[in-house]
Structure 1
């Protein structure tokens, strides 16, 4: 398995300029009956996937979706997600992928920021009533009088998994009604246009809208798949959401650009994941450290017995890579570095690199991507020295409607400031060192301290709040909040429940400590770094108690 060096590929990406073109090419290939997607009980060949995307385009065109429109898709990894997304793109629309963990507090910003004309969503995702949250924000829906005052662009709410209720439409009903409509021809020249807009936390109090463009998705996904060693015979498992860049920009594109099969899991649990990996003879798995921990803890022997499982991706410290290889039996697991702004990954270890290198580095930049390491003044540092990583090549064209964020994130000569400290090894691979900013990364998801602070400050019992990240053995970091109460009777448990019922679960503080005051400089400015060690102690104490 191991070579003495990373292997550089001379292969070139498929020529498709857009995602619909890629699906059409696969459907018209010499193997149109090759399985494309497995999602629950639904199995689609590439020919069937192409047909489903064309039917989705007809249904959306009947709702008025045209070139330049925005379709918001808020759904888990079900059989409807990819056909609906690609169908919208056939109409010339972009797809804004919403997080299904979002509560009304989060959803209001997403709808306002996106300007979506159509919202597609299931009525419920497990215990969460998504449609109820939408109705709380769009009261006009009950009267069937869209658009409403708060979201004037929103014309239709379409339910993916249930019969229509007041003001909504049925996705299945639309597909059936418009199946015989004329075919929709994708507008020409859309390779450089956004396919997806994803929402990622930043230093500000609201998630930023990150457009990812068609051709760059094809190119980047292809090169990721090459580093993994994918080909058409592979079966790629994804238990993370498609609405993350790890899903739609990474695993989906790596799979489709190689004509392989994407196996979707709607909701990850270790036992169901282990069973699905075995039943589908999966060869490549997209894993997060928390997933590896859960599988090793409860289902290691079952996963290790899957003889087909040979490669995959994770975001891992050396111990995480060791557990994937030794405990789960995935010898070619790849280590990665990147962000939503860099199309999910910009650096990936080759699956044939020696394990010792995959444990301690995140690989060379992908073809077409450059990484430089700079000091605090912006000057490049010598190889082997740590500094801030900046990336150029395949990047988002910029945050939508946020000139201040773009000025902060991009240099005048086109480099993206990652906010992470890396170093470049003698063999050209990058190695993650630490983060330079305040961003919290929990289970692979960015969480903005400012966003959580802004939310908690809205509680009437809170006078001041400061949020930091603290190390966690399986989640990388967790959110910890320090609160000065307005009301002396305020309890941490009360605030936790307040957050849990109103914001996405990954933003809810892992721990809240009530304090008398927050640390300040001599000029009165709050100092976040002074609380990081205390946060680490609190988390360590809780983990030791378990």
Structure 2
């Protein structure tokens, strides 16, 4: 359908915006086999965030869930998108399940907004495409020009600048990282037998590679959960499905262990879990292992590394470590002067390997800052122990990691600064056992009547929920350098103190 009917040409970008559902893997593999480039997009993005990503990527196609048709209608005129395929969460399910789910969505929960733009449904697009194949079209021809250097995906991420940019991941990057990770996992995988619970969103690079790509190659069965929130959404599937593997972030593991139904269940078929996206708090790993009698294996990576760069060996994991480099991956540690430090010393982690991105989409300056002679500067400070295991010491970047999602202070600060009652603002992160970090905003008021809740409400208009400050602190002024740059590092201790006071 994409090539023969919609008229997309090799290299065109098609955005995917949907939660976990059966249509997602079909859309992914369809786009890749068509010789097109997929652009994963968070379905919870605000219209402003959608416009930026669609415009920056140059997307001319969109495969989107019907639940957010109102947002799609708002952004389409501001983009180059010409073709929209609308997906239902019930697509590809059995007729009876489809009927029940659609009825509940439409008449009980009233979740389905009217669709006011031109579109084709996902099942109809599949049917039309099948008709073209029956008429003689050969889909294999679309992939003939592809090689390992052909771009497969634009996976958007930020950086110290806070400007979201697309990491250009090639077919070679994705294939290499899938094989690298599978080689680490293989001794503990029963090919064709495992059942993976996918609660993390597949549009996030961690679940995309770990859950979709690796388990597809391993012949596993994926149980897709559209949303793990509230955590009671996971109760039925975790208690009835024979789940053997589970991927999560610290937040998810911690939350589940507070659920009464989870604590009461003792007959787990789970063989192991893999943590990524954010640092696993050691005590959470210990509690999980005690409760489920299975370990959590921690890994590390970035969007720019497709994402797996290191992973704990499954036969001898270290809880505090992020593991060892996956096969074919080189690492080095560099000091502030750009020199490689001796073994065992702390330095910025650099990574080189077949999974490292081609560069940032249409941003040669950003690419040059991050990539040099194949080495990717991660911005993370780390060290290696005498057994070859890596441990992250600190983050060089000001980026805040909330439940595995990147929050960039500049973006939040820019949003707060738009409020007419604000003079100045600075945003920092403080550690939190549940979410990894929380966002704290410091604000200098222009309007003395301005409240903390008003600042948050203002942010919710244009920012996704996890970017909205949990705490807002008002100050008469902000600490700055002699050239006027806000010293975020001077605010972190105060932010932590305020957070602990409020929590206590």
Q: Shared fold by TM > 0.5?
A: yes
Task: Return the offset for 1:304.
Answer: 4.1
Give the superposition deviation at 1:302.
4.8
Residue 60 of structure 1 and its aligned partner are, at CA, apart by 5.6
1:302 and 1:63 map into 2 onto residues whose CA distance is 52
Structure 2, gaps ≥5 residues long: 89-111
Please say if residues 415 and 462 of structure 2, whose CA atoms lie closer than 8 Å, have aligned partners that are also in contact: no
**Corresponding residue of 1:527:** 487
Q: 1:221 to 1:542 in 2, by over 3 A?
A: farther
Match for residue 122 of structure 1 among 49, 53, 65: 65
Deviation string for 1:465-517 (max 9, x for gaps)? 11111111111111111111232222110110121232111111111122221
Deviations 1:143-164 (A, max 9, x none): xxxxxxx32x311222212785
Query: Following TM superposition, by how much is the alpha carbon of 1:303 offset from its aligned partner in structure 2, in angstroms?
Result: 5.2
Equivalent residue number for residue 410 of structure 1: 371
Question: Hey, what does 2:335 align to over in structure 1?
Answer: 375
Q: Secondary structure of the residue that 1:172 maps to in structure 2?
A: helix
Whether contact under 8 Å (1:265, 1:273) holds in the other structure is yes
Counterpart Cα distance in 2 of 1:320 and 1:405 = 36
Q: 1:74 aligns with which of 17, 40, 50?
A: 17
Aligned partners of 2:3 and 2:365: how far apart in 1?
34
Matched, 1:201 2:158: yes
| Gap change, CA 1:104 and 1:483, over 3 Å in 2 | same
Alpha-carbon contact 1:222-1:253 (below 8 Å) kept: no
Paired position in structure 2 for 1:136: 74
Mean CA deviation greater in 223-232 or 487-496: 223-232
Aligned counterpart in structure 2 of residue 216 of structure 1, from 127, 151, 173:
173
CA distance in 1, matches of 2:345, 2:196: 36
Question: 1:438 — aligned with what?
Answer: 398
Cα distance in 2 for partners of 1:423, 1:203 equals 22
Matching residue within 183, 199, 224 for 1:226:
183
In structure 2, relative to structure 1, the CA distance for the partners of 1:60 and 1:504 (3 Å cut) is farther
Distance 2:184 2:485 in 1: 46
Q: What per-residue deviation string (whole Å, max 9, x for no partner) do you get for residues 55-86 of structure 1?
A: xxx25641112211111001000111110111
Choose from 241, 246, 269 the match for 2:201. 241
For the Cα contact (< 8 Å) 2:301–2:310, is it kept in 1? yes
Confirm whether residue 481 of structure 1 aligns to residue 441 of structure 2: yes
Within a 5 Å distance, the mapping from 1:262-273 to structure 2 comes to 262-268=222-228, 269-273=230-234
In the alignment, is residue 327 of structure 1 matched against residue 291 of structure 2? yes
Q: Go from structure 1 to structure 2 and tell me whether the alpha carbon gap of 1:336 and 1:98 turns closer, same or farther (over 3 Å shift).
A: same
- Which whole-Å CA distance do the structure 2 matches of 1:455 and 1:75 have between them? 26
Shift of 1:278: 3.2
SS, match of residue 258 in structure 2: helix
Moved more, 171-180 or 449-458: 171-180
Match of 2:82 in 1: 155
Is the contact between residue 180 and residue 328 of structure 2 (CA under 8 Å) also seen in structure 1?
Answer: no
CA distance in 2, matches of 1:304, 1:295: 14
Judging changes above 3 Å, is the alpha-carbon distance between structure 1 residues 237 and 222 closer, same or farther for their aligned structure 2 residues?
farther
Q: Decide which of 172, 175, 179 is 2:123's aligned counterpart.
A: 172
Whether 1:181 and 2:132 are equivalent positions in the alignment is yes
When normalised by structure 1's length, the TM-score is 0.81
Q: Could you tell which deviates more after superposition, 263-272 or 488-497?
A: 263-272
Correspondent of 1:309 among 249, 267, 270: 270
CA distance in 1, matches of 2:368, 2:21: 37
SS in structure 2 of the partner of residue 337 of structure 1: strand
The answer to whether 1:461 aligns with 2:412 is no
Indicate the RMSD between aligned Cα atoms, in angstroms: 1.8
Matched, 1:452 2:415: no
3-state SS of paired residue (1:175)? helix
Is the CA contact 1:118–1:155 (under 8 Å) kept in the aligned structure 2? yes
Contact conserved, 1:198 with 1:211, CA < 8 A, in 2? yes
Q: Residues 253 and 284 of structure 2 are in contact (CA less than 8 Å); yes or no, is this contact kept in structure 1?
A: yes
> 2-side partners of 1:225 and 1:295: how far apart?
27
SS in 1 for 2:319: helix
For 2:124 and 2:363, the matched residues in 1 are separated by 38
Q: 1:18-54: CA deviations, max 9, x gaps?
A: xxxxxxxxxxxxxxxxxxxxxxxxxxxxxxxxxxxxx
Equivalent pair of 1:78/1:264 in contact (CA under 8 Å) = yes
Structure 1 unaligned spans of 5+: 1-57, 125-129, 140-149
Q: Which of 282, 298, 301 is matched with 1:338 structurally?
A: 301
**What residue number does 1:286 align with?**
247
Aligned structure 1 segments of 4 or more residues deviating by more than 4 angstroms: none
1:399 aligns with 2:338: no
